[in-house]
Each structure stands twice: as C-alpha cells, then as structure tokens.
Amino acid sequence: MTTKEFSLQLLKEITDNFSEKHIIGHGGYGVVYKGVLADGEEIALKRLYPVPGLDDTQFTNEFNNLMKAQHPNVTRLIGYCYNVKNERVKLNDKYVFAHSDEKVLCFEYLKGGSLDKHISDESCGLNWHTRFKIIKGICEGLNYLHNGSKDPIYHLDLKPENIMLDENMVPKIGDFGLSRLFPSARTYVTIKVIGTIGYMPPEFIERREITSKFDIFSLGVTITRIVAGYDGYSKCARMSLEEFIKHVHENWEKRLQDTMSSYTPEQVTTCIKIALSCVENTREKRPNIAEIVDKLNMVDTTESLSTSQIAKKRSWNSERLSFFPVGARDVLSAPAGPFSRLSPLGAGATLAESTKMLGCHVYSKYFGSRKARERWWRSLLVLWIIGSTLASFHLFHYINSNAVEKRRDSLASMCDERARMLQDQFNVSMNHLHALAILVNTFHHSGNPSSINQVTFATYMERTAFERPLTSGVAYAVRVTHAERDQFERQQGWSIKKMYSPNSQGEGDAAGAMIREPDEEYAPVIFAQDAYKNVISFDMLSGADDRENIIRARESGRGALTAPFQLLNGRIGVILTYSVYTSEAVVNARPQELIQAAIGYLGAIIDMEALVDKLLHQLAGKQSIMVNVYDTTYEYPIRMYGSNDKGSGMYHNSSLNFGDPSRRHVMHCRWRWKDGSKLDV
C-alpha cells in the first residue's frame, strides 16, 4: 500500500486544528489525535514534539523504518506530513523570522486501544484464548522487526502502552519513535537514555549496551503482565519458577474450572517459562525471538489437534448411527419436535409413539428370535447367580466380622473382670498376713517377756483360720546373727538346722536334717501352725527360694512371692513372705535402713488353685470361658491354675498384680462350648 503525504491544512481540518476533543493519547514523543478522512477512513495522527537534535536526516531514517515495517502485527503507516516554514514571531518586543516545522505521522486507527487498558490479573478481564493470541501476535510482530529484513529494527521501548489492538483484539506493535535501524546484530553503546523504566535490561542500565536482547527483556516483562496482571512481574521476582507457575495456574483454574481445555495449562506454563527466560540478568541466557515463536507455535498446534479430535469424535458418533436401520438413524439424529415425516405411524404421531415403535423394530430384528432370548436369559441367570453369590459372601463376611469383633470385646471384658476379682481376693489374704506380722511384733518382740509361744501361736492360727481360707500354712522365723546363735540355741533348747540335707527326702524332714553350719545370719522358724510344726528350728535362709523371698521382702517392706510349686496336697501354691520390723522403723525408710530394722519373717503358703476355684465358683452362672493363670516372670510361663493346653483361636490375656513388682502374672481366657470343650474362633 502506498504511503500518502498529507498537507498540514488537511490534518488541521480533520482534527479541528488539533483540538483537545480529538486527543486519544499521549506518547513520549508526541500527542495522538483521531481524525476521519474524506472517504470515511479513521486514522490516528501522531503530532511529534519538537525534539532537539532530531534533524531532517534522522526524521527521514525514522520514517523509512516505518515504511519498511509491513506486517499484520505491526502498526501500518498510512501517511505523513512534514511541513517546514519560516514565520515571523515576536521576541522582546521585536519581530524576528524563525524556522519552524510540523512533523505528523498518520497510522491506521485501531478501535481496541492500547494493550495497557486491557491488562488485568487472572480473575477478570480478557479470557485466556485472547491473551494467548495477543502474546503470539506480539512475538510474531517482533520477530518480523528483528528478522524480516537484512538489517534488524530494534524497537527499544516495547511495552503494553505501545501495543495497539484492533476490533478483533489482534495486537499491533506501534510507536517507533525510539526505534533504530541497525546494519548488523552487533552490540552498540549509546550515551542517551532511551526506553521505559521497568522494561530496560540490566546491561543497558549499567553499560548502555543495545542488542536485540533489549527488546527480548521488554517482551518478557510484557508477557508476564499479560498473563498475571501488572503485579505479576513483581510476584515472580519473589517466587521460584515452580512457585510462580503454580500460582498462575491456580488463579486461572479458579476462573476457568469448567471451561479450561486440556491444552490451556500447557500454554500457560509455556508462556510463563518464556517470560521468565526473557528477563534473565545475563543477556546470553535469553532466547532469541525466533525460538520464542517456535515454542508458541508448538503449543498452538496442540490446540488445533485437540479441536480436530473433537471433530473426529463427532464423526465417530455419526458412524455409530449406521448400526441402526435407516428409520432409526433418522429418529436418533433428528432434533426434538414432531415426527410426522419420520414416524412409521404416519403423520401426527408423537415423539413417544415413534420412539416406542422404533424400539420394537430394533428389538424384533436383533433380539426377537427364540434362541436369542434363551441365550440372553441363560446369560442373565448366570450373572444373577454369580452376583448373588458374591453379595452373599460379602454380607456373610461383614456380619461374621462384626460378630467376631463383638465376641472379642466380650471375652476381654469377662477376662478383665475375673482378673480384677482374683487380685482383690489375693489382696485380702495379704492384708490378713500383714496384720498377723504386726501382731507378732507387738506381742512377741515388744513384750518382755513375750506373750506368744508355739502353743498360743498354733491356737490363734487354728481359731482364725476362717479369715485366711486360702492359706494352708503359716510360720514365723526370727532373725539371728552368728554372734547370737549360741545364746539363741540355749534359750530354745534346739540347734538351728538346714532346710535340706543330702539324706533328706524333702522339706521339713527333721530326722535327716543336719546341724546348720556357721554363717553370718540365720532365720530359724520358732512358731508354726500345728500341721507344719515340724519345720520349727529350720533355717529359712538355707533354702534358695525362701532366702530370695526373705531378702526381697525385707528390702522392699512389701510382700514377696516365690515361684509356683506343688504343695503336699498335690495342688499348686506359692509362699508369701512378710518382713517384721522393729517399732522404730520408719514408713519411708531406705532399703538399707529396712534391712537393719528387720527382726523376723512371716511366711504363708497360699493355695492358688483353691483361690481361683473359689472365684470361679462365685461366677458359676458365667462359666462360658476357660481360665488359666500363669507366672510369666521367666522366659517359659509356669502354670498356676488350669490345664497346660493354651488352646488356639480367640483368646485374651489380662495382667495380674499380686503386689510383688519382681514377679509377673497373667490370666489367659478362652471361650468354652456349652458341653465344656474349647471354642476356637
């Protein structure tokens, strides 16, 4: 298109002598007016300010730059006006002749205005498709300026204010007031300050260097603001690449959650990556404009492919209709409305009637034969049986799981209840024995002479046996040092004996017992129930289990238990030992103080099987579980009650606390059938 030369008079006429009402913008190098030519064409007139140093040659060069730029994304130059004259002006009350000129550039008028008026964040404003089209158009226009001719044109002030939009939102790069035509792609240095703060690259701010990467830096800032608004560039400076991309994606997803297609996130990511690579501080790391256009074309191709896939899907849907008879295809493909033309029932048939008739026709053709129906019914029957079986199995598994869980909870509750009751009954026996220890201390050691002897002790034990139904024997041993032994034996009239000897047959065999060898300390029995009076004179410290029990009892001030053993009656029992202290012993004394204060030891045999039997007898109506009691102090548990068979299946273990912290006991419970056998779950 030929560029026109307009007279200054014509331009004044179409702008009412460049009146303010025709102003549509202000640039760094002139004011922009709107005018309408005689043929109705709207144009934008840029009336340049008087620029010091801009001579005719320089203006001609700038004009030639605009003449060379012919691209859909570059503002089209329609004409110009260059009017030079000498006029008389008044200066200091005198008239002088001065040289004056008018330089006006006329461009196509773009109704969309400048891009900066359309920039907003992701939540409002232009949709993504329009923004991507603008970004791609700007890049293609800049690619033309840099690579469209032998010598590149550098814009040097690329920003949203210098990018115009037409009525179809097609971007066009404008305002070439600062552009220069460079004969090569080398680096140039200038002393002039050009461009706009915020769009200038670091190398220009620091060293006034100009290359094609000047425009690339400005492009990166512009793309960032198109995608994320004016605050986008400041946000990306505070975030990493991944964080900024995620931030922009989330904002676009909020706006386009229902309409964003599969290719949109890829386009957003590509644009942000391009923008951030364009604003690298080192210009060598910035891409050139041709590389940027290639990347945008690649993601734009993805959009085209997605659109073609939708078209193919529609075509496939049309092909599927060919499965039906011709009448069916007509009905299924026709829009909603009367079916008089297509209906087999004739004119006036309703949509429901036509559809019903069509369904009967299709069913009769493909499923109407007897064999086909039989095959379908057999298949449906098999599917129904399989489905019912799976559903029944799932239901059974669900119900059984709930039942098992309830039985497990019930077993745990019953076992914990029995363990708690057994502990309570054992504690009653311990309390009675503790009271007896206090009685011995009061009437034997504190009295002078003693109020207790073997006869009174045995009589008291016999008359109060109902208070200790679970103890089968009680004895008291006094503490004797080696220095006191001779005097003690003369007072008692017998010698201290060992608990065991090589010739003895068991505990309490006085005939085979040997005289106790000299030792540092002794614990001979001086009182015992009549049934166990044969243990009198035996040293309790000479038996391994009894010695351990005595030492632990006097150090702790609490009862100490032995490991389970078989009693003379064949049942399983344990020995509970209490230490008797002097009256001066303090309650919170240290172990060494307790050892020094010990003066005797009271021991009782507790029939554990009788204790548990009594408990279970009290719960005779609740005997739906089997109970075993074990001493688990050592690696292998020792049975105290019940059978040795722990059984299998569902069980529960409840801890038992018999007051001795050095020993551990547990109650093992299982379900029992009504006939007495075990129930394995």
CATH at 48? 3.30.200.20
Nearest-5° Cα angle at 92, 87 to 96: 25
Residues classed as catalytic: 157
Lowest mean pLDDT among 18-22, 495-499, 529-533, 676-680: 676-680
User: Is 637 part of any domain?
Assistant: no
Contact (CB, 8 A) for 308 and 317: no
CB 546 within 8 A of CB 575: yes
Distance of alpha carbon 219 from alpha carbon 224, whole angstroms: 9
**Six token digits for residue 677:** 């056998």
Going by pLDDT thresholds of 50, 70 and 90, the confidence category of residue 238 is: low
Would you say 46 is a known binding-site residue?
A: yes
Q: How confident is the model at residue 365 (pLDDT cuts 50, 70, 90)?
A: very low
Tokens matching residue 98 = 């001065």
Greatest Cα pair distance, the chain, in angstroms, is 159
What pLDDT digit, counting tens, does each position of 305-344 carry?
555 554 555 454 454 444 444 444 443 444 444 333 333 3
Q: How far apart are CA 295 and CA 132, in angstroms?
A: 13
In this structure, are 41 and 123 located in the same domain?
Answer: no
- Residue 413 falls inside a structural domain: no
Tokens 């045999």 found at: 605
3-class DSSP state of 6? coil
The top-scoring range by mean pLDDT among 47-56, 184-193, 581-590 is 581-590
37 and 133: one domain?
Answer: no
Q: 48 lies in which domain range? A: 1-109
Residue 376 lies in a domain: no
| Cα separation values, 441 from 122, 444, 584, Å | 92, 6, 11
Model confidence pTM above 0.75: no
Neighbouring CB atoms inside 10 A of 321's CB total 14
* CATH number of the domain that residue 156 is part of: 1.10.510.10
Q: Same structural domain for residues 262 and 208?
A: yes
Q: Is residue 480 part of a domain?
A: yes
Q: Final residue of a domain: which of 255, 288, 308?
A: 308
State the Cα torsion 234-235-239-244 to the nearest 10°: -130
User: Per-residue confidence at 649, pLDDT binned at 50, 70, 90?
Assistant: confident
Please give the span between the terminal C-alpha atoms of the chain, in angstroms, as a whole number.
97
- The reported pLDDT for the residue numbered 347 is 40
Split into its structural domains, the chain has a count of 3
Same domain, 189 and 96: no
Domain assignment present for 294: yes
Q: Does residue 101 belong to any structural domain of this protein? A: yes
Q: Summarize pLDDT for 403-419 with one digit per residue, the tens.
A: 889 989 989 988 998 99
Q: Is the CB of residue 594 less than 8 Å from the CB of residue 580?
A: no
Do 138 and 56 fall into the same domain? no
Residues 144 and 104 in one domain: no
Alpha helices in 517-602 (DSSP H): 544-556, 591-597
Q: What is the DSSP letter of 564?
A: P
Where is the domain boundary, 611, 627, 648? Answer: 611
What is residue 58's predicted lDDT score, i.e. its pLDDT? 61
* Residue 47 near residue 6 (C-beta atoms within 8 A): no
What are the phi and psi torsion angles at 477 (to 5°)? -115, 140
Residue 102 near residue 47, CB atoms below 8 Å: yes
Cα 85 from Cα 465, distance rounded (Å)? 143
72 and 200 fall within a common domain: no
Residues 469, 600: one domain? Answer: yes
Distance CA 549, CA 579 (A): 10
Separation of alpha carbons 527 and 478, rounded Å: 9
Both 96 and 4 in a single domain?
yes
Q: Is 272 a member of any domain?
A: yes
Residue 127 lies in a domain: yes
| Average pLDDT, rounded, for the chain | 78
One-letter identity of residue 396? F
Same domain, 55 and 176: no
Whether residue 59 is found in the same domain as residue 171: no
Question: Looking at the structure, do residues 513 and 601 belong to the same domain, yes or no?
Answer: yes
- Identify the CATH number of the domain in which residue 506 sits: 3.30.450.350
Give long-range contacts, CB 8 A cutoff, 24+ apart: 75-78.
Answer: 75/107, 75/108, 75/110, 75/164, 75/172, 75/173, 75/174, 75/175, 76/1, 76/107, 76/108, 76/172, 77/3, 77/105, 77/106, 77/107, 78/3, 78/4, 78/41, 78/43, 78/106, 78/107, 78/108
**Domain final residue, candidates 109, 132, 155:** 109
